[in-house]
Structure 1
Amino acid sequence: MLKPDNSGRLEILVVDDDKVVTLLHKSSLKSSRIEHSPVLCYNGKEALDYLRKHDKPGKHFLVLLDLNMPVLDGWKVLKRLKKEPMQAQVFVVVVTSSINHQDAVKAQKFEHVIHFCRKPLTVACTLKIKNLEPLRKFFFQNVEENQKK
């Protein structure tokens, strides 16, 4: 797991066992002007361990989650998140190579899942994520504050 130097109110986790894919996702985030440097986790266990360790009041996480991984897959991560007493608010975007429509339907049944994207993460999908209601405040807060001045 690679940990960035990010102490903001929102941390982004890229959870995928393919290191090339994590680099592609990181590049898409940067191209979308997302300044948050992501934490890279290579399986679901690493991601859950990170969330538990860094959970605190007022903290939020955006988790870009692959479904098919060794050690602990994305489905098990979603099931365990339901049982976690985390104080943090966790928003999950499933990013998968699955072309099975039922995976998208199943993923939406988990309360933490706010969106579903196909791999690789594109700039278009990243821009849509930035505009999702629970996340807008993290990406557009400074713009809104400047407009009020």
Structure 2
Amino acid sequence: MKEPAIFLVDDDDDDVYLARLTFAAHFPEWTLTSFDDGQALIDHFATHPDNALPDLIILDLNMPRLTGFETLTILKRHPKWKKVPVAILSTSSNIDDQTRSQAMGACTFLVKPPSVDQLALLISEGKSICDSGQ
């Protein structure tokens, strides 16, 4: 069975570091690839059209160049990319951000926790939600 490939899109180095620690400790068999912002993700997809798509994209909302909402819009409008489940992982706990994300096609909305163990639990729960929605 193929191990999950996860794309993390986040411009905060500390959050990326926390995610890498989380994956190393709790999901060592999963492949985690990170992108600095939404534009870097879209550029990657555009320049590697024949590469396999990830099993899940974990997307921050507040980023330069393309925000999470802008990136989600582009992903969900593309005939191939729209199939990839997207989980929003943000510092925002605003209900409007959560509602908007899910209305735009995100499978779940997760608020960034302060620890590796809490992040692992959220990622595991979020992936299960996204997997069951397909």
User: Shared fold (TM-score greater than 0.5)?
Assistant: yes
Please, which moves more after superposition, 59-68 or 96-105? Answer: 59-68
Is 1:97–2:91 an aligned residue pair? yes
Alignment of 1:1-149 (within 5 A): 10-56=4-50, 59-86=53-80, 89-111=83-105, 113-120=106-113, 122-132=119-129, 134=131
CA RMSD in angstroms comes to 2.6
Distance verdict in 2 for CA 1:10–1:48, change over 3 Å? farther
* 1:32-79 CA distance string (max 9 Å, x none): 325222111011000112233344487443111000001111010011
Query: Which amino acid in the other structure matches residue 62 of structure 1?
Result: L
CA distance in 2, matches of 1:38, 1:122: 14
Q: CA, structure 1 residues 106+29, in 2 after alignment: closer, same or farther (shift >3 Å)?
A: same
* Identity in percent: 26
Gaps of 5+ in 1: 1-7, 136-149
CA contact (8 A) 1:55 1:88 kept: no
Q: Is the Cα contact below 8 Å between 1:63 and 1:90 reproduced in 2?
A: yes
Letter in 2 for 1:124: L
**Contact 2:38 2:67 (8 Å CA) reproduced:** yes
Deviates more, 1:95-104 or 1:126-135: 126-135
Q: Residue 99 of structure 1: CA displacement? A: 2.1
**Runs (5+) with no aligned partner, structure 2:** none
Return closer, same or farther for 1:51/1:34 CA change in 2, 3 Å cut-off.
farther
Are 2:85 and 2:130, in contact at CA under 8 Å, matched by a contact in 1? Answer: no
Which segment drifts farther, 28-37 or 92-101?
28-37
Please report the TM-score for the alignment, with normalisation by the length of structure 1: 0.73
